[in-house]
Amino acid sequence: MAKKKIRKTIEDINRKIKLGKVVVATADEMVDIVKKLGPEKAAREIDVVTTGTFSPMCSSGAFINFGHTQPAIKASRVWLNGVPAYAGLAAVDIYIGATEPSEDDPLNRVHPGQFKYGGGHVIHDLVAGRKIDVRAISYGTDCYPNREAKKRISIADVPYAMLLNPRNCYQNYNCAINLSNKTIYTYMGVLKPNAGNANYATSGQLSPLFNDPYYLTMGLGTRIFVGGAKGYIIGPGTQHNPFAERGKNGVPLTSAGTLMVMGNLKEMDPKWIVGASMLGYGCSLAMGIGVPIPILNEDMARYAGVSDEEIFTQIIDYGKDYPKGEAKSLGQVSYADLKGGTVRFKGQDIPTVPISSYFRAVEIAHILKDWIEKGDFLLTNPQELLPTVPLFG
Amino acid sequence: MYSKILALRFPKKMVNEPIAATLVKKFDLSFNILKAVIYPRKEGLMVLELSGHRKNFLEGLRYLKKIGVLVEDISHDIKRDDEKCFQCGACTAVCPTGALYIKRPEMEVIFDKDRCSACELCVLACPAWAMQVKFDRSILY
């Protein structure tokens, strides 16, 4: 890489935040700023770019310590509002996963199943301050003789409730169509037959990892917006794959990087962490995440200035190819087309349907911008960056 | 031109009545049936879009009420819980009338009650369970 003309550190930016002199732009605003000023001038002017995404993110869940009972129990199986939680941990520690359905859910026995209540809804109810029924059973030990305990808890009562999501914030995601001749029900939503609609996710130019495609500023310890509170990136998410094919601008053309994130559930807001039901697929959790991108130099300005026209994804058939495990690209489309309302496929205009909320992503980027401008949110230096690949050029 | 989507409910003695034909012939109205169900106890529910001159429309409505059909403005029965809706847009994949659509470039998901035909497809497709269709089915039982 050529020597950089502009050099800023996280400490420089934090100093400006504390003095109230920081200049923040959302990733949407940054597109025009970089177009107008060029990356070098933009990097001189802008200190932080805020991003946002709001979408069902299945690989989510929470560690909860529900507090000791009297007599004491070493819980071996636990249900929260009838939803099984993982209890293979210390006495009253559990992990509730977002996609775990209620134990008596009929699932897909009557297809498409409705999946009305699951782990994501439990987490949502907790964050919303609602009471939750806990049932725990055990085999009994000398130190923990209790074999069954029931209690009602709320987020305020429990000693500890930490959201810890193993894989969130996919850098890019498939555009899903259905080439079979019947309607299918997927994690990408309802797909009508014969390419009746094209569903897509991510917030495009506003999405966190599209604005730092090589993960040069984020890793373990990066402070972010999670579910309405301050949280952290704690490492690469499961399936983090920096080796995906990339365009000339460094932006991956298929799903690539992912984040593992955490945040204190007690500080979150139910607007930004919502239980979700994907018809015929299962339960999930719709998460709001925003990552601040420090504009340390002109390269970061250029990356954060990326626009929907320059971000592409692949059309994948979820009717036949994907379920067989033989997903292949049937064409490449830009996020500008996807957001525009139709994509061209085999000479036909297919209506596009978002599964992520761009509207809410914009709101997140603005909230984060506001926090930073007010001095309520300082940037952090990651202790270890996410795995990446050598840069182009 | 006046147009409205209505829910007509009729008791079982009336299921054989050619209501739609009468509306066309006697009142010069046109109709588009969006949904028609006869329930197990033979009471009927029909959702249709009725269009024509306002005067004829009101006269047609009077006729329906006179013969004992319960007429409801469908938009009263369908609600979106805006607290629950998280503005994704998944519902727009299944909405056949375009009542649920995305306003661009803001990407805001809009629900236009007046275009809703109460097909209920969105109710299940919505990940947040934000769409509520509350037909008052009590008159049917």
Min distance A141 CA to chain B CA atoms (Å): 42
Residues written for chain B: 141
> What's residue B139's pLDDT?
40
Tally A–B CB contacts below 8 A: 76
- For the stretch A182-213, pLDDT in tens is 999 999 999 999 999 999 999 999 999 999 99
- For the stretch B39-72, pLDDT in tens is 888 888 888 889 999 999 999 999 999 998 999 8
Q: Where are the domains of chain A?
A: 10-54+164-268+297-382
- For the stretch A115-172, pLDDT in tens is 999 999 999 999 999 999 999 999 999 999 999 999 999 999 999 999 999 999 999 9
Strand partners, A301: none
Closest by Cβ to A190, choosing from B86, B93, B129:
B93
Is B124 in the A-facing interface, judged by CB distances under 8 Å?
Answer: yes
Token pair for A210: 């599209």
Is residue A158 within 8 A of residue A80, CB to CB? The reply is: no
> What's residue B45's pLDDT?
87
**Closest-approach residue (CA) in chain A for B128:** A276
What CATH number has the domain spanning B78-134?
3.30.70.20
Contacts B90 to A, Cβ<8 Å = 189-190, 199, 353-355
Amino acid in position A27: A
Average pLDDT over residues A74-90: 98
For residue A390, count other CB atoms closer than 10 A to its CB: 6
Residues 205-244 of A with CB under 8 A from B: none
Query: Terminal CA-to-CA distance of chain B, rounded, Å?
Result: 36
Pick from A353, A363, A364 the residue to mutate for testing the B interface (most B CBs within 10 Å): A353
User: Distance between CA A71 and CA A132 in Å, rounded?
Assistant: 20
Same fold, B2-73 and B78-134: yes
DSSP class of residue A330 equals: S
Token pair for A307: 């626009």
The per-residue pLDDT of chain B, averaged, comes to 87
- Band of pLDDT at residue A1, cut at 50, 70 and 90: low
Average pLDDT over residues A24-49: 98
Is A113 in the B-facing interface, judged by CB distances under 8 Å?
Answer: no
The per-residue pLDDT of chain A, averaged, comes to 97
> What's residue B76's pLDDT?
66
Is residue A292 within 8 A of residue A48, CB to CB? The reply is: yes
| Cβ <8 Å between B127 and A286 | yes
Question: Any idea what the Cα angle at residue B111 is, between residues B106 and B115, rounded to 5°?
Answer: 125
Residue B122's nearest CA partner among B73, B88, B71 is B88
Min distance B101 CA to chain A CA atoms (Å): 10
> What's residue B77's pLDDT?
74
Residues 46-105 of B with CB under 8 A from A: 84, 86-90, 92-94, 102, 104-105
Handedness of CA A303, A304, A307, A312 (dihedral sign): positive
- For the stretch A261-302, pLDDT in tens is 999 999 999 999 999 999 999 999 999 999 999 999 999 999
- Band of pLDDT at residue B141, cut at 50, 70 and 90: very low
Closest by Cβ to A360, choosing from B87, B105, B127:
B87
Closest by Cβ to B107, choosing from A197, A276, A339:
A339
> What's residue B132's pLDDT?
87
Is A6 in the B-facing interface, judged by CB distances under 8 Å?
Answer: no
| Residue A393 reports pLDDT greater than 90 | no
Average pLDDT over residues A170-178: 97
Average pLDDT over residues A78-98: 98
> What's residue A179's pLDDT?
98
Q: Where are the domains of chain B?
A: 2-73, 78-134
Residues written for chain A: 393
Is A341 in the B-facing interface, judged by CB distances under 8 Å?
Answer: yes
> What's residue A392's pLDDT?
66
Is residue B111 within 8 A of residue B99, CB to CB? The reply is: yes
Higher pLDDT, B66 or A226: A226
> What's residue B133's pLDDT?
76
> What's residue B118's pLDDT?
80
Choose which CATH entry (3.30.70.260, 3.40.50.150, 3.30.565.10, 3.40.640.10) describes domain B2-73: 3.30.70.260
Phi, psi of A147 (to 5 degrees): -105, -15
Rounded to the nearest 10 degrees, the angle between the axes of helix B54-66 and helix B19-27 is 140
Is residue A86 within 8 A of residue A326, CB to CB? The reply is: no
| Cβ <8 Å between B87 and A191 | no
Considering only the C-alpha atoms of chain B, give the largest distance between any 2 of them, rounded to a whole number of Å.
51
Per the annotation, the verdict on A175 as an active-site residue is: no
Q: Which value does ipTM take for this structure?
A: 0.92
> What's residue B127's pLDDT?
97
Residue with tokens 């979150």: A268
Residues 286-315 of A with CB under 8 A from B: 286
- Band of pLDDT at residue B136, cut at 50, 70 and 90: low
CA dihedral B53, B55, B60, B65 (to 10 degrees): 140
Considering only the C-alpha atoms of chain A, give the largest distance between any 2 of them, rounded to a whole number of Å.
72
Is A60 in the B-facing interface, judged by CB distances under 8 Å?
Answer: no
Is A272 in the B-facing interface, judged by CB distances under 8 Å?
Answer: no
- Band of pLDDT at residue B140, cut at 50, 70 and 90: very low
| Residue B74 reports pLDDT greater than 80 | no
Min distance B17 CA to chain A CA atoms (Å): 36
Phi, psi of B137 (to 5 degrees): -85, 0
What contacts B98, CB < 8 A, 6 or more positions away? Answer: B112, B115
| Residue B10 reports pLDDT greater than 70 | yes
Pick from B82, B86, B91 the residue to mutate for testing the A interface (most A CBs within 10 Å): B86
Min distance A166 CA to chain B CA atoms (Å): 21
For residue A148, count other CB atoms closer than 10 A to its CB: 12
What contacts A309, CB < 8 A, 6 or more positions away? Answer: A334, A335, A336
> What's residue B135's pLDDT?
58
Handedness of CA A27, A29, A35, A36 (dihedral sign): negative
Min distance B109 CA to chain A CA atoms (Å): 8
- For the stretch B123-132, pLDDT in tens is 999 999 999 8
β-pairing, A219-220 with A384-385? antiparallel
| Cβ <8 Å between B90 and A353 | yes
Closest by Cβ to A357, choosing from B86, B104, B124:
B86
**Secondary structure in 3-state letters for chain B:** CEEEEEEEEECHHHCCCCHHHHHHHHHCCEEEEEEEEECCCCCEEEEEEEEECHHHHHHHHHHHHHCCCEEEEHHHCEEECCCCCCCCCHHHHCCCCCCEEEECCCCEEEECHHHCCCCCHHHHHCCCCCEEECCCHHHHC
Token pair for A42: 């933009």
| Residue B114 reports pLDDT greater than 90 | no
- For the stretch B15-40, pLDDT in tens is 777 888 999 999 999 998 888 888 88
Average pLDDT over residues A50-79: 97
**Closest-approach residue (CA) in chain B for A284:** B127
> What's residue A212's pLDDT?
98
User: Distance between CA A74 and CA A89 in Å, rounded?
Assistant: 9
Amino acid in position A228: G
Distance of CA A1 to the CA centre of its chain: 31
**Closest-approach residue (CA) in chain B for A277:** B127
| Cβ <8 Å between B127 and A353 | no
User: Distance between CA A109 and CA A131 in Å, rounded?
Assistant: 30
